[in-house]
Amino acid sequence: MDTRNLVVGSRIEHGLHGSGTVTFVGTDYLGIAFDGTGEALIRRESLEKDVPVVVEPQEPARDTLPWPASTFIPEGESAQHYLGSHWDPFVEDSKELMGRLPEILPNALVQTGYGESRKPARSLPDDWPKGFQLVWPLRVQGMALILRVEKEANMLVSLFPFFATGSQHTLTVREVSVWEGGLEAQITASWGEGEVTFFDTQYLINRAWYETGKEYDFIFSGIAYNAGPAEKHEWKINRHPDEVAWMNQRLKEGEEPHETACTVSMDGAAMFLPVSGWDVDDYSFHAPVKSVTEFKDWLGQDGWRVRATVMRFGDEDADLDILITRRAWSGEAPPQVGQDIEGRLWLQGYLWMPR
């Protein structure tokens, strides 16, 4: 494509991005508003290359398949999950807890949830494994135990820490990844303009309700593996003059013009990113704190429930309740409102109600 004659208002066709309208003309860059996908600043040289349209073979859209295939994806045998690491904020070795099971099980409670008494019109497939969930010492926080129902006896599948009084969010379910045993799952869902994957702490109770493309209210908790006051990070950068001119062209009334030399700071930044090499429900975070509530004796640990902003969608804050035990906190003083904190966490959640 020859870009030399393009002016503001010119229509173009791009092999990868589709059709659009030129909104800015710079020396090395062009601003283009692509039809239906928003505006972008693109190098001239990338437009001048012949970019072929690549058509990949398409599988049927998942939401066109019948339920449950439309929603549930069985994991392969090679998938691995490291539930033992979820105990790091509480004990030095998870074997300590296993040794206490004989005294815990007689006092455990059957977990309750939305799907316990409310059933959708459809039924679960007959060949799906059956199980149930126990919790100790309380239904709102503590240890959860997943058991599989078998002919001879019930078999313990897993145990993990949980916290049920977290923050409420509306998400659209994309898929449910079912673990090999069929009794545990991770849910991938759209959260505002982003996408997250979380461990479903009440999968056995609510699985009949899930359907791809539907909205649900979930209660989220992030259990911090480690957390502390955020380090100060600043970078001095020089932006391309075309980028500055393009951004100044888009200024709203009352906004200060951009300059080529600028300082980028992490102060007040909200970031929520998957941890490379960890499980898909593990995230690193950098978040400003909005509230702090102290808790006592959660599986032997005191600490703080911190509500912090982990993402922003335009003017909307995505706030998450992050549970930080004293064992996981590296700061000398407790977390404070207005403070930026950072660390890594395990994202868990459960169904509050369908929309």
**CA-wise closest residue to 195 among 318, 279, 56:** 318
Q: What is the pLDDT of residues 245-292, one digit of tens each?
A: 988 988 888 888 888 888 777 788 999 999 999 999 999 999 999 999
Residue 86 has pLDDT above 50, yes or no: yes
- pLDDT of res. 294: 97
Full-model pTM: 0.79
**CA-wise closest residue to 207 among 64, 73, 61:** 73
Q: What is the pLDDT of residues 201-245, one digit of tens each?
A: 999 999 999 999 999 999 999 999 999 999 987 767 788 899 889
**pLDDT (average), residues 181-192:** 96
Q: Give every CB contact of residue 104 below 8 A, 6+ residues apart in sequence.
A: 136, 143
> Starting from the edge strand earliest in sequence, which strands make up the sheet with 141-148, in order?
109-110, 131-137, 141-148, 155-163
DSSP code of 255? P
Tell me the pairing of strands 109-110 and 72-74. Answer: unpaired
Which residue pairs from 26-29 have beta carbons closer than 8 angstroms and sit at least 24 positions apart in sequence? 26/241, 26/242, 26/245, 26/246, 27/241, 27/242, 28/240, 28/242, 29/240, 29/242, 29/243, 29/246
- pLDDT of res. 54: 44
- pLDDT of res. 215: 97
pLDDT band at 168 (very low <50, low <70, confident <90, very high): very high
**CA-wise closest residue to 196 among 166, 175, 226:** 175
pLDDT band at 63 (very low <50, low <70, confident <90, very high): low
